[in-house]
Structure 1
Amino acid sequence: MPQVVTKRIGSARASLAAGIAGLSLLAALVAGAPARAEEPMVVGLITKTDTIPFFVKMREAATEEAKKHGVKLVASTGKFDGDTESQVAAIENLISVGAKGILITPSNSTAILSAVKEARAKGIVVIALDTPTEPADAVDATFATDNFKAGEYQGAYAKQALGGKAPKIVMLDGTSGSSVSELRHDGYLKGMGLAKGDPAILGAQFTNGATDKAQAAMENLLAAHPDINAVYSINETAAAGAYAAIKAAGLEKDIVLTAIDGGCAGVKNVHDGKTAATVMQFPRKMAALGLAAIVEAAKGGKKPAGFVDTGAEVITDKPVEGIPSKDTKFGAEACWG
């Protein structure tokens, strides 16, 4: 064989060997390379506002729980309580980024339902926090205070605190048409052992849970019914307004004023004797349990369903017989805001 041909064959064999060696090295490198990190699961949290301490605590708890599970939390909020448009836009954004679940405190129990339906049709688990949707099964599950039970605790405490006196009550309600307002109102009456329309109910006014509106309402009710001995309030900010009117009338020792929420300011008002008792709810627990439930479902576990009661606790320094309660020391440690 001519020498030049022999050299070409040898060169070709060397190139082929080098190519095979290179491929083997590449395969080894690929096999030994770490797997590309997967994008973290996305879960959304949509609250009514970012200014109310109740929702701030929800976000804190959801953030902590997301970090614990290695989840990316996308938090959004309405510009104000009742801002449905921002909540709907947030749901649509979470659909577009492929979220596995959404936690939402609906600003309106019906206005967000179309967006929720779209999310669920994409396989996204939707959990309502604090405020149920109407109907309740529009979402996969609701993690919230049993508002009827919370109202019942408030009424039962007030009845016992009256010490056998015939109740002469007025009711400072929340917002007309609000399911939370109605549930708490009806629960209070049950706790008091009264039916709607009972003559012991001297009056009721909507306050939107606001201090100024509650104070004005209480002033009007006291002017019409100076013999009031018990006041139901939808929340602690309404109770603060009621107390201002009651104190101005010099009746703070004659009226059993109660509330619902468990904010730190509300617990302090109980400690200071401005409110006889408040019923504490647990926003951090709602958010933490809700996020954990979404993660479990996304990983093939049990899917959340139905209503999950996150508990309520009577907070008072004046305990009454037959009503389980915790003192304000516990309340100060567990409060929000």
Structure 2
Amino acid sequence: MSATHFTHTSLFRSFWVIFFVLALVGCGATSSSSLTLIDATSAIPATAPAAQPTVQIGLVMKTLTNPFFIEMERGARRAEAELGIELIVKTAAQETSIDQQIAIVKDLIDTRVDAIVIAPGDSTSLIPVLHEARQAGIIIVNIDNRLDMAVAEKLGLVGVPFISVDNEAGAYDSARVISDQFKTRTKVAIMQGIPTAQNAIDREQGARRAFRENPNITVVATASGFWKIDEGYKVAAQFLTDHPDLGAIFCANDMMALGAIRFLSEHGYDHVLVAAFDNLQEVQSALQDGSLQATIDQQAAEQGYLGIQYAYKLLQGETVPAETMIPTLLVTGTRQP
């Protein structure tokens, strides 16, 4: 384009702008003052700056039927408020609903969340779909129950931060409260969580370690209550049917312990000692009346809070610890055998 043509075009446009302004003034388009050229041009609305997208973090838990996970969500919500992110909370119907958790992760991949913080119901089954999420550019943070590290490494899911408690040590502390009370030959049983969950495996090992330290104790039965109250009731019934002289039961969580305690109370086995894990609000009365000897507070809210904080830091390009162990707190009851 020639300079002469550019000048003519510019002059032509300027003429029409001035003509338009003068026409507005002449027609009384302003109410009390004359509209200047500057006024006219500044009245044209500016294009608003593009809004920054909100960071979306998905929190995937096992269920909300267990109060432990309600506490975990409470901690995550605190992090949400502090960070100004959008928290998307998803849970399965039950702690055993592993396929549902897998479907939830797939849905979050389709939603294109920025990060997923997950308390997996199973330590191996969710690894493939979490690897798929990682491949899609989604940050993964593992809380509560550890993913199987060997399987994860084999499938290429490495470098996932883990936040939890020392489940083996916590179970040892809880089981030792009842173990130390037996001075004569005593039979005991262990009620496991989901057998393929690493935290269930660790808690069984911790309880066994405590029982081994007392030569008077023999572990005569082990069975899974799958973290549920009703299953805890059924398993306790089987324990006492097979071993009516049973002296104690270690339950790998409070929910199963509540079921076991209900069976023991209903069938006259009040002398059987029970220890558990989680320190739910629902077991406080059992701790007070002695039907529960001990439990472990694993600070569920803190796990949820740190999980969201770590995910956000990773999204900001910061580094976080590969493993964070939150201290467990032993909570004891009052009854003696």
Q: TM-score, normalised by structure 1?
A: 0.77
Which of 172, 175, 184 is the equivalent residue of 1:152? 172
Q: Which residue of 1 aligns with 2:29?
A: none
Which of the residues 192, 214, 228 maps onto 2:246?
228
Given candidates 47, 55, 65, the residue that maps to 2:69 is 55
**Within 2, Cα distance between the matches of 1:156 and 1:231?**
12
- Could you tell me how far apart the structure 2 residues matched to 1:93 and 1:317 are? 43
User: Counterpart amino acid of 1:152?
Assistant: Y
Q: Provide closer, same or farther for how the CA distance between residues 15 and 89 of structure 1 changes in structure 2, counting only shifts above 3 A.
A: farther
**Aligned: 1:259 with 2:279:** no
Give the Cα–Cα distance (whole angstroms) in 1 for the partners of residues 100 and 244 of structure 2: 44
Q: Which structure has the greater CA radius of gyration?
A: 2
**Contact map agreement 1:294 1:304 (CA 8 A) in 2:** no
1:308 aligns with 2:319: no
Equivalent residue number for residue 298 of structure 1 = 315
- Counterpart-to-counterpart distance in 2, 1:151 and 1:224: 24
C-alpha separation between the residues in 2 aligned to 1:241 and 1:84?
Answer: 23
Inter-partner Cα distance in structure 1 for 2:54 and 2:230: 46
- Conserved 8 A contact 1:161-1:256: no
Q: 1:105 aligns with which of 113, 116, 119?
A: 119
Deviation at residue 81 of structure 1 after TM alignment: 2.7
Match of 1:190 among 186, 206, 209: 209
* Paired position in structure 2 for 1:169: 188
Please state whether the residue corresponding to 1:161 is helix, strand or coil. coil
Structure 2 spans left out of the alignment, 5+ residues: 1-7, 20-36
- Which residue matches 2:133? 119
Q: Note the residue ranges of structure 1 that are not aligned, 5 or more in a row.
A: 1-7, 321-337
Asked if residue 241 in structure 1 is aligned to residue 259 in structure 2, the reply is yes
Shift of 1:202: 2.1
Query: Structure 1 pair 29/284, CA: closer, same or farther in 2 (3 Å)?
Result: same
- CA shift, 1:14, in A, is 5.7
Instruction: Give yes or no for the alignment of 1:143 onto 2:160.
Output: no
| Aligned amino acid, residue 189 of structure 1 | R
In the superposition, relative to structure 1, how do residues 141 and 231 fare at CA in structure 2: closer, same or farther (>3 Å)? same
Distance verdict in 2 for CA 1:238–1:96, change over 3 Å:
closer
Deviations 1:54-75 (A, max 9, x none): 2222223222211210101122
Equivalent residues of 1:143, 1:290 under 8 A apart: yes
SS of the residue 2:180 aligns to: helix
One-letter identity of the residue aligned with 2:274: L
Paired amino acid for 1:48: K
Secondary structure of the residue aligned to 2:317 is: coil
Q: What is the Cα deviation at residue 107 of structure 1?
A: 2.6
2:107 alignment partner AA:
N
Does structure 2 retain, via aligned residues, the 8 Å contact 1:297–1:304? no
In the alignment, the residues of structure 2 paired with residue 88 and residue 13 of structure 1 have an alpha-carbon distance, to the nearest angstrom, of 62
Shift of 1:135: 2.6
What letter is aligned with 1:261? D
Deviation at 1:233, TM superposition (A): 1.2
For normalisation by structure 2, the TM-score amounts to 0.77
Aligned-partner residue type, residue 218 of structure 2: A
Q: Could you report, residue by residue, the CA deviation over 1:89-136 in whole angstroms, capped at 9, with x for unpaired residues?
A: 332333344322111121332222222112222332211221221237
- Partner Cα separation in structure 2 for residue 241 and residue 17 of structure 1: 83
Deviations 1:204-262 (A, max 9, x none): 2322233343334333433443433222112222222322343345442x432111111
Distance between the aligned counterparts of 2:217 and 2:192, measured in 1?
Answer: 18
CA separation in 1, counterparts of 2:65 and 2:239? 31
Task: Encode CA deviations 1:307-330: one digit per residue, 9 max, x unaligned.
Answer: 32223211114499xxxxxxxxxx
Partner residue of 2:92?
A: 78
Give the distance between the partners of 1:95 and 1:168, measured in 2 at CA.
49
Q: Secondary structure at the match of 1:231?
A: strand
State the superposition RMSD in angstroms: 3.5
What is the percent sequence identity of the aligned residues?
Answer: 21
1:169-189 Cα offsets, whole Å, 9 max, x none, are 122223333332221111111
Distance 2:18 2:99 in 1: 65
Answer yes or no: is the 8 Å Cα contact 2:291–2:335 preserved in 1. no
> 2 CA distance for matches of 1:88 and 1:223?
37
